[in-house]
Amino acid sequence: MAARARLARHELGPRAPHRRRRGRRALGPRCGNALRRRTLARGRGRADVRPLAAWTSFVLAFASLSYAVRFTEGKPQKDVLYQWSTVANSLVQFAIIGLIVYGISGLGNRRQLLALRRPTSWWVALGIGVAIGIGITILTAALGPLLHPGREQGVTPDVWEPKHAAAYVANGLVICIIAPIVEELTFRGLGYSVLVRFGRWTAIILVGIAFGLAHGLVEAFPFLAAFGAGLAYLRSKVDSVYPGMIVHGLFNATALAVAVSGKPQQENMLRACAGVWSLLHF
């Protein structure tokens, strides 16, 4: 009987593997690897939600605080840029914001989320930067007489005071250097990175809106949102946050220069500022 059974199995050929075996081995190595890849992808997707949730919560909280301060305390004093306390308070504020953004970006690939890399093209960045400047100029000429955004913000002095030139220049350095770095990392760096999953143009628009809301202004909101969206578009085209920092800093410097250009004693003011700049340089 045993010999007949062996002969029958030999005539039938090798036994086919059982297709209904359970377990990971029954699926074969390729299927097992595919399952592992899907599991890891789901894990990464869940982890990627954390920077988005944290950034959104932070921006909403900051915008709410900005509007609450604006509606309860009103406009800042006209001599705010003449005060050294403004420099100190601004540095502390930007340091706190920077630490929060640094912490949120640590929930993922920090360098990737903050877009701290060389731009794909400096020439493209230059062209888009010029276009942003032209666009904001046209928007200001069209809506400025109706909304008066500078009047709402109210931080530029009415009268030039040469004795406060050093404090004014120090505040200008914070506004033109520190502020652009921190704000670009917050919105065009981290913000765009966590929002681009919803689409490039959706991210650009949402970043612009978030940037406008974070300043806590009403009449100036269209200008800030447009400027923020323009910088987000620049970020999306060159895949870097560095060109936006430069454009942002130049924009703030131009705004400060235009704001004081019509003030009394303009020549004395410029002479005093030049003297302070030379002292800071050495």
- HEC profile of 34-89: HHHHHHHHHHHHHHHHHHHHHHHHHHHHHHHHHHHHHHHHCCCCCCHHHCHHHHHH
Q: Which of the residue ranges 73-77, 79-83, 233-237 has the most confident prediction, judged by mean pLDDT? A: 233-237
CB-count burial class (<10 Å; 0-12, 13-18, 19+) for 79: middle
pLDDT digits (tens, 9 = 90+) for 132-170: 999 998 998 888 778 776 665 656 666 667 788 899 889
Decide if 14 is inside a domain. no
Q: Half-sphere exposure (CA, 13 Å, Cβ side) for 169?
A: 18
Decide if 33 is inside a domain. no
Structure confidence at residue 107 (pLDDT): 94
Helices 221-238 and 200-214: crossing angle in degrees, nearest 10, is 140
Region 242-264: mean pLDDT is: 81
Decide if 18 is inside a domain. no
Decide if 72 is inside a domain. yes
Decide if 32 is inside a domain. no
**Domain with 169 in it:** 50-281
Decide if 21 is inside a domain. no
The tally of domains found in the chain comes to 1
Q: What percent of the chain has pLDDT over 70?
A: 70
